Structure 1
Amino acid sequence: MSKGEKWLRSVKDSVRPLFVELVVYSFFVNILALVIPLFVLQVYNRVVAFGNISTLQGLVAGVFVALIFDFSLRQIRSRLLQKAAMRIDIGVGETLMKKFWSLPLKVLESRPSVYWQSLFRDVDTVRNTIAGAPFLLLIDLPFAAVFIVLIFLIAEPIAWVFVSIVPVFVLLAVVSGKLVGQASQEEKESQRSRDSLVGDMINSRSTVKALSLDVGISPHWENVHSNNIESALRRGMKHDGFVNAGTVFTLATTVIITSFGALAIIDQKLSIGALIAANMLSNRVIGPFSQLVGAWKSFSAYRQSKDRLDEVMNIPTERLTETIQLENPAGDIKLENISFRYFDDGEHVLENLSAHFTPNAVHMIMGPNGGGKSTLIKLLKGLYVSDKGRILIDDADITQFTRKQLSRWIGYVPQETVLIDGTIKDNISGKRDYITDEEIVRVCEKVGIHKVITDFQDGYATNVGEAGRMMSGGVRQRIAIARALIGTPSILIFDEPSASLDRFAEIQLKGLLHSLSSNCSVIVVSHSPVLLGVTTHLYLLDKKRMIISGPRDDVLKQLDNRSKDENPIEKTASPSTNKVKV
């Protein structure tokens, strides 16, 4: 059994006792379904034929008792089904969430966000199929054999009609499943394209409005939306066609039964009561098979959803188990001939790159756009794994550590600051209970944002809004910096930390980096002249390699000796002033 199948098996095992109860209650519900047809048969054959009123009274009393039991059993069955659905929803949802966060970042970035969103909708499909109407339908189908046997007992001359019509419905269900399944898959793909475009439009709404880009986007949206509508119509026409065919066959079955039953009555081979009872039982026989034609869409969607979830569950995860508990490292980082590419057949983004970041220093990485700076930062953070070479923390290979360990040791401020809808406090603490209010205030004071936060009407309880859009860029940036300082990280990595800061805040950041470097190894990706003033070591990354690295003043002197055409940094002042233009 593959990993992709084990996750579902474990979820099913958790609800197996409920499923057993459901089958038991469904058995009695289906047995009680015989009550009404048998009641009608007895009324016509015994009450109407012989005028036996006392028999009618007994039959009516017995039927009402049976109906009360039927209602109670159906209620219990519904509650059991809801309980099973809740367990499946929780089990599958939690399994998918844990799997999602255990996947390597390279895998998460290789697929669009709408793909991952659709997986969580697949959870709903799995739940609704395993613990919904389709499951009850599968339970009821075997009882059709019981009803056919009963029809043979009370109306043998027309029982052959049922035996011959059932294969027609089965064939109709199988064909509809194949054709509607293909159409549903096409509709799903078109929905992903539409949802992806909608997400892009929403995320860039301010830019679109500011530049009136809707003029160009609207035709594209109309094309994508029309493709989605067309695929939905194709699926709907196929599905409705098979459902309508099933309805017509059901009506035709009633006509055929009644016709042959009438001939049997004329030949005195069948009573009127038996014909009426057989017609009522026909709904219990043909009904589930007719529903199967329409429900095959659900089974097809379930199979597709399960296949997608299986695929994700089979993807190897990053390291999850800590082999040994270690103290915080000193923060000495070495890169030994590392190479990295995003795709197996793609070009290397970094190639044979080596560097050394010493503790208690501020290291600045500089270079042109697209030079691999952000990729290098993610490698240092352990978010990516190099294809070649090693990254060492205190002479220990970084790949042996889990993401939780690296997160404790390495604070990280990404280039694109995104906050999660919630309070400022929750965004800084990450809703981790062990982080105290005192620690949150301490890091905010250190970053210089505590006064800004307390000036808000709700203080630390202020909601940052969707993706932090209620906050200014500078406030978001400083909240992200405060978040990175939580705990006692030995290494702090900043990717363009001053991009959204004003001059005053940038000077404050300069002082912060200087104070942090007394206890940490600080690595900064930046071209800021202000931050260069606090830098102790400088690294120039270009064309996949580390071109120059070393103490800041030595590197600046080397750059001074190079022609402006050969290096991407144009020096406009003497090294002693530490003012450069990038």
Structure 2
Amino acid sequence: MSTESLVPERKPRFAAWLVEPMLANKSTYMKVGLAALLINLFGLVTSLYSMTVYDRVVPNNATTSLVALTIGLLIVLVFDFILRTLRAYFIDIAGANVDREVGQRTFQRLLSIRLDARRGSTGQLTGLMRELESLRDFLASATMTAIIDVPFIFITLLVIGAIGGWLVMVPIVMIPIVVGAGLLTYPALDRLAGSVMNHGLNKSSVLVEAIGGLETVKVINAAPLLQKRWLEATDSHADSSLRQRLVATLGVNVAATAQSLSYAGIIVVGVFLIADRHLTTGGLIACSLLGGRAVQPLGSIAQLLSRLTGARTAYQQVNAFMSQPSEISESDQLKPNKLQGLIEFRNVTFRYPGAKQDALKDINLVIKPGERVGILGRIGSGKSTLARMALGLYQPTDGLVMIDGTDLRQMDLVSVRRHVGAALQESVLLTGSIRENIILGRDGIDDEEMLRVARLTGVHDFVGQIANGYDLKLADRGEGLSGGQRQSIALSRALVGRPSVIVFDEPTSGMDMQSEEILIARLAEELADRTVIVVTHRPSLLKLVNRVLVIQDGRIAVDGPRDDVLRRLTQPQRAA
């Protein structure tokens, strides 16, 4: 199955979204480093304790010294336990803080991403957001602990050298073997991590598509097609995952073997050093324990190398996503407190990404404040695109889209949309109550205003017949409600708060004629003195407008007063 890869093709820029939250927690990471230093120093005590017991206590039967040494060791072990617990706690705290900040930034970028720059399907973007868990596991897991412990290998080697002399060469020889195995397997792991992630995103894409359109899938009998895609994605993902685990196992096995060889090598060499009176029995035991500690951190890294490559791949993909163009500019943008409602298109041309022809061509249009404009046209003529550009959902390829005389790109779109009510073709409702879907958590919207627009759009007529009323919890996308009911709720949230600009795109396509007539009669007074754009195929909705545009092949073919335009459109039919 051919799917779009989200792996970046260019080198990602500086990842401020990740580095800045980590720097903000540098004090916590410094505590982790200090705890790691003390833990590794305490780790040397056990080896020195064994050496002292075998070299001093056993030959002299010094039980009093044994008791004193054991009490000291127990005290060290208590502090070691406390420090290990604190280190894990600090790593989890730092990881949680970084995860919260990174999650907030990435979700904000997801909500503000420019639609013309969006890459990947809904399922792929959903899977990509889940890859943040890989980064969190890396920043708050045993991987971080192992990396912190690596520099202390040199301290352990110095102690082995001080006790056993040339005996230190045994673990020194083992270390390059473990590192070499990791370096040899890393390119393959890195390549396979990207493959595993892409195949996982493909699975997510098929899954989200199937769940989101389950009703349609059943009706059109698309289950066999999706089942085939799911099996293909599952087989590809399983194959890549299997190869990744096999390569990772090689590094882990080499590290385990090297650790055993280090222990055995120290014992063998140590026996000859004892025979030559260059090493004591206690020194040999201490060095054998320290030899395992010297190689162990490298073994942990080898064991977690697959997670490291997974985190790196996740970082690359999320960083590429964070580098995509956003509606939010890095420079200061204008934040209007209100809109007059003047909308201008100046020589606007627009082409959808990947399209071979323009959706809009050389559009010049001025919609005055308080003017109500209807947009007509055949399917694919560009009328919905025109409405979406007025909402700032897309930026023009050429030309300017202006609100109140200001380029829309210079304005904070979040602030602009507070004063714009929109109901698009597909009435997508959010999970939550009907009340939440109408108010959307906006300040200054009380129950009185909600009830006003609910009565206006007809929501109040059917909510009174539903258990729980406005507190009824809706399923995904409002499933369980009819198309007309969903549209009524969508119209309510567009009108609540009395926005100065209204954009409707086929707002009554799911309603019956009677409901539509009642709604139009109510809207006639509601929309007075507001700037209104209505995209429609239904002549009945043109009662709400006083000006009509006809879009043909991406251009404005007809523009004029409603009655004049309708007369011109009907005259050829009468002549025929």
When normalised by structure 1's length, the TM-score is 0.91
CA distance in structure 1 between the aligned counterparts of 2:435 and 2:28, rounded to whole angstroms: 42
In the alignment, structure 1 residue 230 sits paired with structure 2 residue 239: yes
Indicate if the aligned counterparts of 1:361 and 1:517 stay in contact, CA closer than 8 A.
no
Structure 1 unaligned blocks of 5 or more: 565-570, 574-582
Q: Kindly tell me: are residues 156 and 572 of structure 1, through their superposed partners in 2, closer, same or farther at Cα, counting changes over 3 Å? A: farther
| 2:131 match: secondary structure | helix
Deviation at 1:324, TM superposition (A): 5.4
Counterpart mapping for 1:296-445 below 5 A: 296-319=305-328, 326=336, 328-343=338-353, 346-445=356-455
| Aligned residue number for residue 8 of structure 2 | none
Indicate if the aligned counterparts of 1:539 and 1:548 stay in contact, CA closer than 8 A.
yes
In the alignment, structure 1 residue 282 sits paired with structure 2 residue 291: yes
| 1:142 match: secondary structure | helix
Counterpart mapping for 1:92-103 below 5 A: 92-103=102-113
CA distance in structure 1 between the aligned counterparts of 2:25 and 2:262, rounded to whole angstroms: 38
| Aligned residue number for residue 222 of structure 2 | 213
CA distance in structure 1 between the aligned counterparts of 2:276 and 2:336, rounded to whole angstroms: 92
Deviation at 1:407, TM superposition (A): 0.7
Question: 1:136 is matched by which residue type in structure 2?
Answer: T
Deviation at 1:48, TM superposition (A): 2.0
| Aligned residue number for residue 579 of structure 1 | none
| Aligned residue number for residue 58 of structure 1 | 68
Deviation at 1:322, TM superposition (A): 6.5
What is the root-mean-square deviation in Å for CA atoms of aligned residues? 2.4
Higher mean Cα deviation, 524-533 or 473-482?
524-533
| Aligned residue number for residue 534 of structure 2 | 524
| Aligned residue number for residue 259 of structure 1 | 268
Higher mean Cα deviation, 54-63 or 353-362?
353-362
| Aligned residue number for residue 497 of structure 1 | 507
| Aligned residue number for residue 7 of structure 2 | none
Deviation at 1:20, TM superposition (A): 0.9
CA distance in structure 2 between the aligned counterparts of 1:556 and 1:383, rounded to whole angstroms: 30
| Aligned residue number for residue 167 of structure 1 | 176
Q: Kindly tell me: are residues 344 and 4 of structure 1, through their superposed partners in 2, closer, same or farther at Cα, counting changes over 3 Å? A: farther
In the alignment, structure 1 residue 506 sits paired with structure 2 residue 516: yes
| 1:364 match: secondary structure | strand
| Aligned residue number for residue 496 of structure 2 | 486
Question: 1:455 is matched by which residue type in structure 2?
Answer: Q
Indicate if the aligned counterparts of 2:334 and 2:411 stay in contact, CA closer than 8 A.
no
CA distance in structure 2 between the aligned counterparts of 1:105 and 1:234, rounded to whole angstroms: 36
Q: Kindly tell me: are residues 63 and 387 of structure 1, through their superposed partners in 2, closer, same or farther at Cα, counting changes over 3 Å? A: same
Q: Kindly tell me: are residues 398 and 325 of structure 1, through their superposed partners in 2, closer, same or farther at Cα, counting changes over 3 Å? A: closer
Q: Write the deviation string for residues 484-537 of structure 1: whole angstroms up to 9, x where unpaired.
A: 112231221111111111222211221233123312122111112332344432
| 1:363 match: secondary structure | strand
Indicate if the aligned counterparts of 1:340 and 1:350 stay in contact, CA closer than 8 A.
yes
| Aligned residue number for residue 568 of structure 1 | none
CA distance in structure 1 between the aligned counterparts of 2:273 and 2:545, rounded to whole angstroms: 101
CA distance in structure 2 between the aligned counterparts of 1:473 and 1:298, rounded to whole angstroms: 46
Q: Kindly tell me: are residues 255 and 51 of structure 1, through their superposed partners in 2, closer, same or farther at Cα, counting changes over 3 Å? A: same
Q: Write the deviation string for residues 347-381 of structure 1: whole angstroms up to 9, x where unpaired.
A: 21110123343444542212121111221111111
| Aligned residue number for residue 145 of structure 1 | 154
Indicate if the aligned counterparts of 1:4 and 1:312 stay in contact, CA closer than 8 A.
no
Indicate if the aligned counterparts of 2:335 and 2:416 stay in contact, CA closer than 8 A.
no
Counterpart mapping for 1:79-228 below 5 A: 79-108=89-118, 110-228=119-237
Indicate if the aligned counterparts of 2:438 and 2:490 stay in contact, CA closer than 8 A.
yes
Q: Kindly tell me: are residues 370 and 25 of structure 1, through their superposed partners in 2, closer, same or farther at Cα, counting changes over 3 Å? A: same
Deviation at 1:57, TM superposition (A): 1.3
Indicate if the aligned counterparts of 1:4 and 1:309 stay in contact, CA closer than 8 A.
no
Indicate if the aligned counterparts of 2:196 and 2:237 stay in contact, CA closer than 8 A.
yes
Please list every run of at least 4 consecutive aligned residues from structure 1 whose deviation after the TM superposition is greater than 6 angstroms.
Answer: none
Indicate if the aligned counterparts of 2:505 and 2:536 stay in contact, CA closer than 8 A.
yes
| Aligned residue number for residue 35 of structure 1 | 45
Aligned residues: 565
Q: Write the deviation string for residues 304-341 of structure 1: whole angstroms up to 9, x where unpaired.
A: 22223332333343255775564533434333331101
CA distance in structure 1 between the aligned counterparts of 2:521 and 2:374, rounded to whole angstroms: 15
Structure 2 unaligned blocks of 5 or more: 1-10
CA distance in structure 2 between the aligned counterparts of 1:129 and 1:328, rounded to whole angstroms: 46
Q: 1:545 aligns with which of 555, 562, 567?
A: 555
Q: Kindly tell me: are residues 537 and 345 of structure 1, through their superposed partners in 2, closer, same or farther at Cα, counting changes over 3 Å? A: closer
Q: Kindly tell me: are residues 533 and 324 of structure 1, through their superposed partners in 2, closer, same or farther at Cα, counting changes over 3 Å? A: closer
CA distance in structure 2 between the aligned counterparts of 1:175 and 1:444, rounded to whole angstroms: 66
Indicate if the aligned counterparts of 1:382 and 1:406 stay in contact, CA closer than 8 A.
no
CA distance in structure 2 between the aligned counterparts of 1:122 and 1:204, rounded to whole angstroms: 24
Deviation at 1:157, TM superposition (A): 4.0
CA distance in structure 2 between the aligned counterparts of 1:61 and 1:67, rounded to whole angstroms: 10
Deviation at 1:344, TM superposition (A): 7.5
When normalised by structure 2's length, the TM-score is 0.92
Q: Write the deviation string for residues 411-432 of structure 1: whole angstroms up to 9, x where unpaired.
A: 1111111111111111111122
Indicate if the aligned counterparts of 1:176 and 1:296 stay in contact, CA closer than 8 A.
no
| 1:523 match: secondary structure | strand
Identity of aligned pairs, percent? Answer: 27
Q: Kindly tell me: are residues 95 and 342 of structure 1, through their superposed partners in 2, closer, same or farther at Cα, counting changes over 3 Å? A: same
In the alignment, structure 1 residue 246 sits paired with structure 2 residue 255: yes
